[in-house]
């Protein structure tokens, strides 16, 4: 009898061990940028929502994480199964669904990433096994458990319904999106506003008590440490462009210009 295939996704075990993981959102269609980040990060989200990345570029970026411990994920433009399908079939081991604001939204996301009978994912992972160096059979054997359903809580209505959303079976990670959360209450760009912070605190409380892995954005090391102390296990350190800009700014510090 053949051995049970080893799961491809190492993030789940890290979270079970309560080990925080660090990543970034890749918006630049660049194999080179992903390759550099993948050497230092636990995960990278290829941004198909806001970045100028098509599926051909996304495939190359996903493949660029091979040979590193970094797990490639993808963020799609809308909570639609047809948008989630291709990134998974190209080798992404998780989908970040934006703007999940109800139980129905959450259930739709969960079913998008798993094959029947657990979900509605259609078969066709033609390129994913090549990314992971496994046979089609071994890929299929662990696909449902490897795939991460990551939802984003980023609207005031989502916070108002946080308990019903987080009670949905099959959610693996819930990330709080401060930018859109602020925008949803007409406080665009005002992430530090007390009302926005209060909404984030309510979302955080609802996610933490559900037992689902919680994620968020850490803009500084101090903020990251505070979030880890509160139970965060998924921390986005920034976008590729913001990390790039911060690195340039840091390099210029102290130089007489």
pLDDT tens track for 106-157: 999 999 999 999 999 999 999 999 999 999 999 999 999 999 999 999 999 9
Domain assignment present for 3: no
Looking at the structure of the chain, the number of domains it has is 1
The answer to the question of residue 256 being in a domain is no
The residue written with tokens 């799961």 in the block is 7
Q: Is 5 among the domain residues?
A: no
Range of the domain at 90: 11-251
Please, which pLDDT band fits residue 2 given cuts at 50, 70 and 90? low
How large is the C-alpha radius of gyration of the chain?
18
Structural domain contains residue 18: yes
| CA atoms of 9 and 146, how far apart (whole Å) | 5
In this prediction, residue 3 has a pLDDT band, given cuts at 50, 70 and 90, of confident
Pairing of the two strands 43-47 and 21-26: parallel
Task: Tell me the average pLDDT across 72-91.
Answer: 98
Would residue 6 count as lying in a domain?
no
Q: What is the pLDDT of residues 7-65, one digit of tens each?
A: 999 999 999 999 999 999 999 999 999 999 999 999 999 999 998 999 999 999 999 99
Q: Is residue 239 part of a domain?
A: yes
Query: Looking at 11-141, which runs of residues are DSSP E strands?
Result: 21-26, 43-47, 71-75, 94-97
Question: Is 43 among the domain residues?
Answer: yes
Exposed/middle/buried for residue 115 (C-beta within 10 Å: 0-12, 13-18, 19+): middle
Q: Determine, yes or no, domain membership for 2.
A: no
Residue 1: per-residue pLDDT: 46
**111, 115, 134: which is closest to 123 by C-alpha?**
115
- Is 185 within 8 Å of 196 (Cβ atoms)? yes
Q: What are phi and psi of 167, to 5 degrees?
A: -80, 0
Quick check: 237 and 22 in contact, CB under 8 A? yes
- The runs of H, that is alpha helices, within the chain are 11-16, 31-38, 55-63, 81-89, 103-112, 128-132, 136-146, 156-160, 162-166, 178-184, 194-210, 221-230, 240-252
Q: Return the CATH number at 216.
A: 3.20.20.60
């Amino acid at each position: 009898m053949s051995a049970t295939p080893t799961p491809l996704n190492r993030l789940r075990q890290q979270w079970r061990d309560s080990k925080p993981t660090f990543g970034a959102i890749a918006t630049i269609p660049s194999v080179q940028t992903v390759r550099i980040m993948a050497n230092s990060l636990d995960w990278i989200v290829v941004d198909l929502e806001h970045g100028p990345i098509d599926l051909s570029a996304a495939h190359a970026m996903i493949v660029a994480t091979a040979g590193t411990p970094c797990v490639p994920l993808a963020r799609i433009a809308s909570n639609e199964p047809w948008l989630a399908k291709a990134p998974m079939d190209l080798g992404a081991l998780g989908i970040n669904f934006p703007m999940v604001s109800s139980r129905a939204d959450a259930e739709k996301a969960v079913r998008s990433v798993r094959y029947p009978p657990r979900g509605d994912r259609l078969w066709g992972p033609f390129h994913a096994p090549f990314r992971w160096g496994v046979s089609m059979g071994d890929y299929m054997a662990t696909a449902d458990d490897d795939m991460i359903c990551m939802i984003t809580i980023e609207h005031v209505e989502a916070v108002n319904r946080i308990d019903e959303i987080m009670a949905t079976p099959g959610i693996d990670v819930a990330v709080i999106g401060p930018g859109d959360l602020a925008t949803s209450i007409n406080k665009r760009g005002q992430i530090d506003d007390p009302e926005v912070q209060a909404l984030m605190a309510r979302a955080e409380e609802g996610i933490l008590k559900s037992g689902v892995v919680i994620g968020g954005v850490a803009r500084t090391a101090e903020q990251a440490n505070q979030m880890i102390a509160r139970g965060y296990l998924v921390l986005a350190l920034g976008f590729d462009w913001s990390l790039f800009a911060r690195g340039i700014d840091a390099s210029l510090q102290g130089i007489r210009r």
